[in-house]
Chain A
């Protein structure tokens, strides 16, 4: 009874969410200006978090170092497009391939670790990449950052305006979500979720735990790489700080706020975490306090994230119906 009610409410939420998303995009495209940048960031982080969700949400592992692959994507794009004059459509798949390959090489030994040890190892990965992006000046231009990165485009056609780029970002995001949905419901996705449920039980059913963890790590790395590349094209400039520790904390906030392990949770989290600071801008020096306060309240009342709201409503309705 409750599960049917959850499906019914989820459908209404899906319709409502889609309409709200379209309305938000339309308003931003009409309004233009700074809001295009805010929603553009949200779309980029949505892609990053959708990938991170494979490793942390579906597979139940901890990674504090996925920013390393965003940096690889970002700097790869900068070097290929701004430094060597490559077309973005060629640079993007190459950086994805490089990031995926490096994820295999790093993940193979690292993913033998578990729990806190894995978290620390991935954290070190992020720190090493950050240090490299500062110290390897001949390649990354260090603290000065890499400027002059062209916007997305094919051949002579460039997405010159912010609005055009935002539309492209949203299209890439939707493709990323569609792939995530397909993978989640596949044999691959079920195996990942089984590992999150019980590694021993999954193993006993024939699932090669090490191989699937590595695959999830690589998928997350490729999504992160795409997010890093898109950031570079969207802003036209990158520096080490862009892919620093703040990227890790912000992506975690988005994942848990929206609902880790759900398809739309990372997107909802990315949009809300990107817009909340803007909503509180009028509070001036109290802006950060208000932002943190709202985040804490949401996580207190929706510990499984906002994506769990339909389920909570359905259960509340079920209990109310039983009581009457």
Chain B
């Protein structure tokens, strides 16, 4: 399968601290890839470096095009959309306004925005019930639905998610990840950063394990037979 995203030797630092050492990975068209690793391993920095939310060295190819020099908003216009850790919702705005902002790159095409809204409401009917509610007043699960729904409004070609299960009850987290699985089955390429490895590995075709700012292993879920196998990367 052709590469949707190809990252070559991407590195980022916060001051003198190298948060991400030269790292390479790929996501194929229609593939769901997960990046696992303990707290502080560099997972979030990896996503922020890809989307240029932090300055980074290295090369990022998207559908074969070098997008390393593009700004964050230009990457979004190409279809690289990220759901940030902590969801990044606009807490004072309504659910509707958050979703409409997701379709910012669509412009003022009202019909297209309505079509995308209908699609999101099919995936997350709860959001339709909460349409006029202020985003900051939603429950944690609903907020995560909104964060994913808003990202889908952008019509992503590659969806990147940073710990979507963080702070959610296990059942809610499982529901969210199941929806991501469904989106992937429809052909959406997904790069999923997760700490909850068992949930992520149920969905992913490949997994990268990142520790101390570098990729320690690239694995298929079959290669990880037990939590014990994975733990060696977390606690080495």
Contact = CB atoms under 8 A, between A and B. Distances in A.
Interface of A: 3, 187, 190-191, 193-194, 197-198, 200-209
Contacts of A191: 101, 104
B101 A200 contact: no
B81 interface: yes
A190 B100 contact: yes
Q: Is the interface of A mostly helix, strand, loop or mixed?
A: helix
Contacts, number: 72
A201 B88 contact: yes
Contact of B133 (A3, A198, A203, A208): A3
Given A193-B90, A197-B90, A197-B92, A204 B76 contact: yes
Given A206-B73, A206-B154, A194 B90 contact: yes
Contacts of A187: 104, 107-108
A198 B88 contact: yes
A206 B77 CA distance: 6
A24 B90 CA distance: 37
A217 B105 CA distance: 22
A206 B76 contact: yes
B132 to A, nearest CB: 6
B134 interface: yes
Given A203-B76, A205-B105, 18 more contacts: A3-B134, A187-B104, A187-B107, A190-B100, A191-B101, A198-B88, A200-B53, A201-B84, A202-B101, A203-B72, A204-B51, A204-B53, A204-B82, A204-B84, A205-B150, A206-B77, A208-B73, A209-B73
Chain B contact-residue range equals: 20 to 34
B73 A201 contact: no
A42 to B, nearest CB: 28
B101 A204 contact: no
Contacts of A200: 53, 84, 88
Contacts of B81: 204-205
Nearest to B53: A200
A208 B72 CA distance: 8
A3 B51 CA distance: 36
A209 B71 CA distance: 10
Which of B73, B93, B134 has most chain A Cβ within 10 Å? B73
B67 interface: no
A303 to B, nearest CB: 15
Contact of A201 (B71, B90, B100): B90
A198 B53 contact: no
A319 to B, nearest CB: 14
A202 B89 CA distance: 9
Nearest to B88: A201
23 contacts: A190-B93, A190-B100, A191-B101, A191-B104, A194-B90, A194-B104, A197-B89, A197-B90, A198-B88, A200-B53, A200-B88, A201-B88, A204-B72, A204-B84, A205-B73, A205-B81, A205-B102, A205-B104, A205-B150, A206-B105, A207-B104, A208-B73, A209-B73
B29 interface: no
A165 B48 CA distance: 55
Contacts of B82: 204
Interface centre among B84, B88, B89 (most CB of A within 10 A): B88
A198 B85 CA distance: 12
